């Protein structure tokens, strides 16, 4: 188990079912409609906190360098995105994970995408529960 001083990355992938990928304009619109904001590093973030000083989780393209070029939204296609959070989280890690998972599901429905775990396997309910339990264990360890 990690010590409280260590950081942990929790990630979910959203892959396009269509071989051509997600059209950038639809992907970006869907993320914005879910409250994600384009920001630091050219990726999208879920702001948290009243002053939106911290990011709860982020969304990066799976295409290097991971950023979204907003000047090319009419022509770009993305095969997938990584939706990720870092622990320890700025706020309650379980709440952040639940929000990240809910947002991921909404994006998958809206864009006809498939959710995968960090190894590229289908994100089953069992795997979701395991990831959530990892967040709980990390937070418990960090406070004990």
What is the Cα–Cα distance from 107 to 73, expressed in whole angstroms? 17
Per the CB < 8 A criterion, the answer to whether 114 and 8 are in contact is no
Per the CB < 8 A criterion, the answer to whether 37 and 44 are in contact is yes
Is 104 strand, coil or helix? helix
What is the Cα–Cα distance from 40 to 33, expressed in whole angstroms? 19
pLDDT digits (tens, 9 = 90+) for 46-75: 998 776 778 999 999 999 999 999 998 899
Per-residue pLDDT of the chain (144 residues), as tens digits, is 344 458 999 999 999 999 999 999 999 999 999 999 999 999 999 998 776 778 999 999 999 999 999 998 899 999 999 999 999 987 899 999 999 999 999 999 999 999 999 999 999 999 999 999 999 999 988 777
pTM across the whole model: 0.91
pLDDT digits (tens, 9 = 90+) for 135-144: 999 998 877 7
Beta bridge partners of 44: 38, 59
Two tokens at 23? 């059209």
Burial 79-93 (b: 16+ CB within 10 A, else e): ebbbbbbbbbbeeeb
Is 47 strand, coil or helix? strand
Domains annotated for the chain, with CATH where assigned, are 8-143 (3.30.1400.10)
Max alpha carbon distance in the chain (Å)?
50
Helix axes 24-33, 93-111, angle to 10 degrees: 140
């Amino acid at each position: 188990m990690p010590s409280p001083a260590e950081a942990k990355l929790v990630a979910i992938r959203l892959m396009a079912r269509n071989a051509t990928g997600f059209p950038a304009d639809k992907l970006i619109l869907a993320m914005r409609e879910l409250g994600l904001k384009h920001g630091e590093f050219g990726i999208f973030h879920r702001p948290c906190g009243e002053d939106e000083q911290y990011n709860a989780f982020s969304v990066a393209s799976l295409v290097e360098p991971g950023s979204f070029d907003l000047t090319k939204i009419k022509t770009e296609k993305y095969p997938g995105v990584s939706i990720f959070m870092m622990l320890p989280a700025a706020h309650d890690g379980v709440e952040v994970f639940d929000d990240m998972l809910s947002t991921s599901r909404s994006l998958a429905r809206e864009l006809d995408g498939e959710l995968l775990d960090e190894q590229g396997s289908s994100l089953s309910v069992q795997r979701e529960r395991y990831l959530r339990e990892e967040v709980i264990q990390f937070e418990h360890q960090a406070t004990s």
